[in-house]
Structure 1
Amino acid sequence: MDALRQEFTPRGTFLDTASHGLLPRRSVTAVRRGAALMAEGTLDQQACLRAVDGVRADYAALVGVTADRVAVGSSVAVHVALVAASLPAGAEVLLAAEEFSSLPTPFDQRGGLRLRQVPLDGLVDAVRPGTDLVAVSAAQSADGRVVDLGALLSAAREHGARTLLDTTQAAGWLPLGADRFDYTVCGGYKWLLTPRGVSFLSVPPGFGGLRPLHAGWVAGAEPWQSCYGPVAELAPDARRFDQSPAYLPYLGAAPSLRLLAEAGPARVGAHARALAARFREGLAGLGCEVPDAGGPIVSFPEPEGAVEALHRAGVRVARRRGALRAAFHLYNDEADVDRAIAALETTAAGR
């Protein structure tokens, strides 16, 4: 892990992966190389599409699903909208009330669906006969709470509901077994350390009723033979759901995913959780008891002057839903935790 941390060059202490992960040096190099080729007019588009397929395969291996079930794109909301469009009128979609908006909004905007939102801690018990789809994030954006995936799957199977899991705040540190879910979606720019503009959709065998509503030339069985007129033959696998990829983000994603494969999600998760636990212990020493959310994200009450104190110390966190949010990844270490706690101590001392 120490060797991999040398790939990152944060300015100060970066504890905000839940907003946007850091790019490793190797990914920065790949993006710059691609941009230079674009500037020269020598970019090989066929090579870029091969790189996209490599990213697809690397992501599939990382989350535990076969590459033929993975579609690529640039937006989680677009992937979710495909799932929303596949549901019959009147279908019940069960959601956690605290979800990041990219998950519930496409269902809401689709119209003709019955959306039922319940608190996250009651989601599993709320699955019932007549629930058509359960859509939830593996880890919540606002506070990092991790859903009990085993219990969720059991409840869904018992009542015949399909599952859609958003892994944006989990893929990269949480071993997932994505093949257990009907659909998964993931934005790569957080824990997968890719540039913004990389996202993934996994689909069930047979596609689960999805229609390739935004299919373009890259969705064709032979993309370079599908450039004009309606695509005559769609790809036989999940590639039929591809959005036309932005080349530079995917060129940068390739080395990022290979780096994470070197580390392994289980190892990354153990490291990041340990740092989160150390941070919670430090907060407890300041009189702030924070429950374990189950992952590397810690949401804690905002003391007066805390943001200013953290900023002066060069520590970056986020403010979400009236609290501060710290997130730990493979590039963080114990010194980062201690620096953040020391900064917060200055606000406690001033009270």
Structure 2
Amino acid sequence: MPLNCQRELFDLPAGLTYFNTASQSPCLRTSFAAGERGLRRKLMPWIAERAALPGEMERCRELFGGLLGAPADDVAIVFSTSYGIASAAANLALAPGQDILVLEAQFPSNVYAWERLAARAGGSVRFVPRGADFDWTGPVLEALDDRVGIVALPNCHWCDGALVELEPIAAECVRRGIPLVVDATQSLGVKPLNLETVPADFVVASGYKWLLCPDMMGFMYVAPKHQNGMPLELNHASRTGAPSMETGSGLGGCLKPNARRFDMGAADSMIHTPMCVTALEQITEWSPAAIHTYLTGLVDGIADRAQERGFTCPPKGRRIGHFIGLYRDQPWPKDLTARLAARGVHVVFRNGALRISPYLFNDEADVDRLFTALDAELR
């Protein structure tokens, strides 16, 4: 069922146009209320509602896994993209002389851990340059040769939304036996991603952008073949069969036989977890496909109006549907985003692109306000 604008579910003041979800999403009103309930549990940790926390954690795993087509057993709760990527890098091997394939100007959280792994293994990180007309998929496929030991990619470039088609890349990785690690932070929850067509080894996503979750919350899918690996942290909660702390030290047992062993320490946040549940439940109810369809309509309109003004952007078919970056021949004014914010329009620069990232609280009136403000400031 097609979606309409959902602005009433968020607390955005009248006259404000927020086009910066790719940096930080506002939370849902229901998530804010859930956070207040969580704060009360912290204020009064003796109340009975604290006992709901383990069930909330499992609900988060179910919901995140559902976005990928994975069971809850395959999902770990992590702090951030960088934490998840570091976990993946700690559990993948690189033969001497092999390369790790990443995009040129890829987001740093999906680069630094690979540089460290490559340095330790005597290999290197190979940065794939963008092809003509904003093509990433072709150059990545061309770069997949016998020297590649790991592929670590997003499914769109974080600066301008240029698309990376993971389906053919994943198929080639499977054919060559190369592990694939996906940073889905800029897409999961707003564009469908299915493990049947993208059989990744690890999928990591921070929650504070398109998943509408609070800061310091993220999730990681771990393929079953890696679930006997070593987590970054060792603690009581990551173990099974350990003695109770009520009657002893709690020492003993062994690591859990699934992705839960990779949970960050203190994954059982009384405040953040219920906020994640409400956010992921709402996204599941809307469905990523329906969200993407709605936002694609807005982004296509932004692209058309940008091109009328002589700006450049990834073309239709080479961009993801839910955000876009605009370029122009001469440099953008350095204070442009501040001047637009003074007009109530919030966007951001990323690597030379004016990045515009709408969500379901935006509509065509916001697109009008954006270009009215741009025209006034660039006149």
Q: Name the TM tier (shorter chain).
A: over 0.9
Matched, 1:141 2:158: yes
- Residue of structure 2 equivalent to 1:22: 26
Q: How many residues are aligned here? A: 349
Give the SS at the match of 2:101.
strand
- Residue of structure 1 equivalent to 2:175: 158
Query: How far apart are the structure 2 equivalents of 1:341 and 1:212?
Result: 48
Query: Equivalences for 1:148-187 in 2 at 5 Å?
Result: 148-178=165-195, 180-187=199-206
Offset at residue 284 of structure 1 (A):
2.1
The TM-score normalised by the length of structure 2 is 0.86
Counterpart among 291, 294, 297 of residue 323 in structure 2:
297
Counterpart among 84, 91, 107 of residue 79 in structure 1:
84
- Residue of structure 2 equivalent to 1:264: 287
- Residue of structure 1 equivalent to 2:373: 343
Matched, 1:97 2:104: yes
Query: Equivalences for 1:121-140 in 2 at 5 Å?
Result: 121=136, 122-140=139-157
Matched, 1:50 2:55: yes
Query: How far apart are the structure 1 equivalents of 2:324 and 2:228?
Result: 38
Contact 1:70/1:238 (8 A) holds in 2:
yes
Query: Equivalences for 1:239-258 in 2 at 5 Å?
Result: 239-244=260-265, 245=267, 246-258=269-281
Show CA shifts across 1:176-229 (max 9, x none). Answer: 013521111110110000001111111112326631231312212267837945
The TM-score normalised by the length of structure 1 is 0.92
Give the SS at the match of 1:143.
coil
Query: How far apart are the structure 2 equivalents of 1:124 and 1:102?
Result: 22
Q: CA RMSD in A?
A: 2.1
Query: Equivalences for 1:271-290 in 2 at 5 Å?
Result: 271-290=294-313
Show CA shifts across 1:53-106 (max 9, x none). Answer: 111111111222121111111122122112212233535311112211111111
- Residue of structure 1 equivalent to 2:232: 213
> Structure 2: which 5+ residue stretches go unaligned?
131-135
Offset at residue 119 of structure 1 (A):
1.8
Paired residue type of 1:236: P
Matched, 1:33 2:41: no
Give the SS at the match of 2:126.
strand
Name segments (4+ residues, structure 1) moved above 6 Å: none
Q: 1:45 to 1:74 in 2, by over 3 A?
A: farther
> Structure 1: which 5+ residue stretches go unaligned?
none
Give the SS at the match of 1:178.
coil
Give the SS at the match of 1:236.
coil
- Residue of structure 1 equivalent to 2:11: 9
